[in-house]
Amino acid sequence: MGSVGLPQFSVFGEYYNTIDGKLSSTQQTRHGINPATGKPNPEVPVSTPQDVDAAVDAAKRAFKTWSKVPWAERQEALNKFADAIEKHGDDFAKMLTQEQGKPLMFAKAEVAAGVQWTKTLSSFNLEEEVTTSDDGTKEIHVRYTPLGVSVGIVPWNYPIHLACGKIAPSLVTGNPIIIKPSPFTPYCDLKLGELAQQFFPPGVVQVLSGDDNLGPWLTAHPGPDKISFTGSSFTGKKVMESASKTLKRVTLELGGKDPTIVCPDVNIAEVAPKIATLAFMNSGQICLAIKRIYVHEDIYDPFLKAMVEHTKTLKVGDGSEEGTFLGPVQNSMQFEKVKTFYAQIEKDGQKVAVGGVNEEKPGYFLTPTLVDRPAEDSKLATEEPFGPIVPVMTWKDEAEVIERANNTKMGLGASVWATDLQRANNIARQLDAGSVWVNAHLELDPRFPFGGHKESGMGFEWSLAGLKAYCNVQTLYLKKTA
Ligand code: NAD
């Protein structure tokens, strides 16, 4: 583990782990791929079990002092950290496009979201709740005390936003954190770690990059007290199993198969383009993207036509090119996985409304695709492609469409579109999902809880209530006389 000290932050060409306040690399290194060009990105460390031990030890030492730093000082440090992310926003956004593939305008929006989430989540106060007994002889205090060391495991679709959504609540509640980015997108997260060293004592924010061994090493390690995981439901189950051996606290933010229900009274010209946009943002690689579209049969044909027309205007290409709406799929594994959904079109004899496969090698490009009424039990209608291919189905009866929307193991997001708000509200309340919108989708706010029902997650993050998931609860009974 070679340590290189703390160079001036701003060099977005070199990438290091941050362990115990120092930048370090490893003997063996690896690199991600720019998904738009297929070209290698810079080398990053491949952390070893010794690096994991060193980071956990440093975090445990840091916990002793960081947990005692007054709440307001922790808030102030996080605020300054957020300002610094904003200051380096252009560099972060450029690197994000290069490593993740998303168009630059969305990369900038993700940096802004990281800043906003850091500021908002660190603005909360978890104050002691005090109850005094009727006779005044006793006080009962409910205290929220930090758990210890957190590990934040981050996926490749929103590396900055999701890392910030873990760093801020962990730190403000007094818990040092070790961030583990996806091997596909380690760059911006490593830079967040490097930048953080200017605002927090050694061991409070550490970032380790590595290969597929690193996540399991961290979840199995006896040192950490909490795992905040965002990723697929498949991996989430493994994380929970591993964390159960030491009874680590676990928060799981997992996959989705979000339904959207379109009522017959909508303004088609306004709503259809919005829904197509929300389905294809980030090339469909959003846990909360619209992944099933149910349109009332009375307006099905014109609504589908309007979505098709809008979809044709969405430019696919390198995210660094002006006007691109859909960048490439993020990595080759995901590209191959999404292509199996495209291959199913021919196998099942499905009808394509717009799109189809259109590979522009060497990047991992796919055209946005709407499939017209695939079978309700087809792979496309039941599984999460996590790519730009979406089924469109019809509905007639309200109770039946609610049942179809809920007929999935997932329960992350859902939405209803209608002019009749009472009807929309009534449908929305019957949808089994953690975030439900009327006349919108994907509009998130860090002041409110975010989490999934069923196999879309366990617990929730963000909001004042989300902060409690980084805390133990202590009930302190104070009697005034012995
Ligand atoms: P993934 O589950 O493959 O990987 C997520 C992270 O877990 C990565 O950092 C990965 O290296 C790590 N990991 C892999 N195996 C591990 C193990 N055994 N132990 C510990 N860590 C391990 O997910 P992905 O492909 O990076 O992301 C896409 C998935 O994430 C989709 O299903 C999407 O819906 C979901 N997602 C959910 C949310 C949410 O907030 N609910 C947000 C974004 C993405």
Q: Which pLDDT tens digit goes with each residue over 89-104?
A: 999 999 999 999 999 9
Closest listed residue to residue 209, CA positions, set 82, 48, 3 = 48
235 Cα: distance to centroid of ligand 1 (angstroms): 6
Q: Which ligand 1 atom is at minimum distance from the Cα of 256?
A: 34
* CA pair distance 25, 15, nearest whole angstrom: 8
Chain length of the chain: 482
pLDDT at 360: 62
253 has catalytic annotation? yes
Per-residue pLDDT, 1:
46
Residue 5 has pLDDT above 60, yes or no: no
Q: What is the pLDDT of residues 9-49, one digit of tens each?
A: 767 889 999 999 999 999 999 999 999 999 999 999 999 99
**366 neighbors 339 (Cβ within 8 angstroms):** yes
Fold of 2-254: Aldehyde Dehydrogenase; Chain A, domain 1 (3.40.605)
Q: Read off φ and ψ for residue 395, nearest 5 degrees.
A: -145, 160
**What does the alpha-carbon distance between residue 111 and residue 12 come to, in Å, rounded to a whole number?**
15
Mutate to test the pocket of ligand 1, among 52, 230, 246 (most ligand atoms within 8 A of CB): 230
* Res 6: pLDDT: 55
Interval between CA 294 and ligand 1 midpoint (Å): 27
Q: Which of 7-16, 26-35, 118-127, 344-353 comes out lowest in average pLDDT? A: 7-16
- 453-462 average pLDDT score: 97
Give residue 11's pLDDT.
Answer: 73
For residue 410, pLDDT over 50 is answered with yes
SS3 assignment, position 161: helix
Q: Which residues line ligand 1 (CB under 6 A)?
A: 153-158, 180, 182-183, 215-216, 219, 230-232, 235, 238-239, 253-256, 287, 384, 386, 412, 452, 457
Q: Are strands 471-479 and 138-146 parallel, antiparallel or unpaired?
A: antiparallel
> What is residue 310's predicted lDDT score, i.e. its pLDDT?
98
Atom of ligand 1 nearest to the CA of 183: 11
In this structure, which topology does domain 259-445 adopt according to CATH?
Aldehyde Dehydrogenase; Chain A, domain 2 (3.40.309)
| Number of other residues whose CB lies within 10 A of the CB of residue 155 | 23
CA of 220 to the centre of ligand 1 (A): 17
Give the model confidence (pLDDT) of 217-226 as tens digits.
Answer: 999 999 999 9
Instruction: Tell me the C-alpha distance between 46 and 28, whole Å.
Output: 6
Q: What is the mean pLDDT of residues 380-400?
A: 98
Comparing 5-9, 165-169, 462-466, the range with the smallest average pLDDT is 5-9
Q: Per the residue annotation, which of 253, 384, 455, 461 is the catalytic one?
A: 253
Contact 283, 291 (CB under 8 A): no
Q: Is the pLDDT of residue 205 over 60?
A: yes
381: three-class secondary structure by DSSP: helix
**Per-residue confidence at 362, pLDDT binned at 50, 70, 90?**
confident
- The residue whose CA has the least distance to atom 21 of ligand 1 is 215
User: Does the predicted model carry a pTM greater than 0.75?
Assistant: yes
Same fold, 2-254 and 259-445: no
pLDDT at 200: 98
| Confidence (pLDDT) at 276 | 98
Give residue 205 CA to ligand 1 midpoint distance, Å: 21
The domain segmentation of the chain, as residue ranges, is: 2-254, 259-445
Helix residue ranges per DSSP H, 245-385: 268-280, 300-312, 332-348, 379-382
Above 80 in pLDDT, residue 262?
yes
Mean pLDDT score of the chain: 96
